Structure 1
Amino acid sequence: MDQEGKRDLRHRLATTVLLVLFALVAIAMASFAWFSISDQAKARQLALTANAGNALRFDLDAHDSFDQYVSSLGFDQISARISSEQGTDIDSSKLQPVTTSDGQSFTYEDGSEAQARTGAYLEFTLHFISHQDIIVRLTGESGGNGEAGTAFSSNVDSLPQAMRMSFTCDGQTWIYNPNMGSDASTSGGVTTFGIPTGGSSEAGNMFNLVAETDKPAVVRIWLEGTDPNCTNIVRGADYSVAMRFEGIEQQEQQEQQDQR
Structure 2
Amino acid sequence: MGFFNKIVDNMVSEKVPRKRRKRLIVFVALITLLSMTTATVAWFTVNTFAGVDNLDIKISMSAQLKVGMENYGTDLTKYTKVITNEMVDSYLQKQGKRLEDIMLDPVTTTNGIRFTNQRGTEKEPNDRSYLEFECYFIATEDMWVHLTTESTEQGEDDGTKVTTTSTGAKADVVNCARVDFSTDRNGTAIYEPNRVTPVNGQTTFDLPTGTMQYSNNTRLFHLEQLTPTKVTIRIWVDGEDPQCDDDVQDAQLGVQLGFVGCDENNVPIS
Q: Same fold (TM over 0.5)?
A: yes
Q: 1:201 aligns with which of 206, 210, 214?
A: 214
Q: 1:219 to 1:134 in 2, by over 3 A?
A: same
**Which 4+ runs in 1 deviate beyond 4 A?**
24-27
Once residues 195 and 151 of structure 1 are traced to their aligned partners in structure 2, the CA distance between those partners, rounded to angstroms, is 9
Q: How far apart in 2 are the matches of 1:123 and 1:200?
A: 28
2:193 paired residue among 172, 178, 187: 178
Count of aligned positions: 228
Asked if structure 2 preserves the Cα contact closer than 8 Å seen for 1:140 and 1:200, the reply is no
Picking from 99, 111, 135, the partner of 1:102 is 111
The structure with the greater share of residues assigned to strand is 1
Partner residue, 1:8: none
Matched residue SS, 2:71: coil
Deviates more, 1:111-120 or 1:226-235: 111-120
Pairing 1:74-113 to 2, within 5 Å after superposition: 74-85=84-95, 87-113=96-122
Give the Å deviation of 1:28: 2.2
Aligned to 1:100, what secondary structure does the other structure show?
Answer: coil
Which of these residues, 253, 256, 261, is aligned with residue 247 of structure 1? 261
Distance 1:238 1:193 in 2: 23
Q: How does 1:46-195 map to 2 (within 5 A)?
A: 46-51=57-62, 53=63, 55-64=64-73, 65-85=75-95, 87-143=96-152, 144-154=154-164, 155=166, 156-171=170-185, 172-180=187-195, 192-195=204-207
Instruction: Report the alpha carbon displacement of residue 225 of structure 1 after superposing the two structures with TM.
Output: 0.5
Overall identity of the aligned pairs, in %: 28
Instruction: Give the RMSD, CA atoms, in angstroms.
Output: 3.0
Please list every run of 5 or more consecutive structure 2 residues that lacks an aligned counterpart in the other structure. 1-29
Separation (CA, whole Å) in 1 of partners of 2:68 and 2:125: 20
Q: Is the 8 A contact 1:130 1:209 kept in 2?
A: yes
CA deviations on 1:145-194 (whole Å, 9 max, x unpaired) are 3142112112132101100011111251000011338x99xx9xx85211
* Greater helix proportion: 1
In 2, distance between residues paired with 1:69 and 1:101? 33
Distance 1:217 1:229, change over 3 A: same
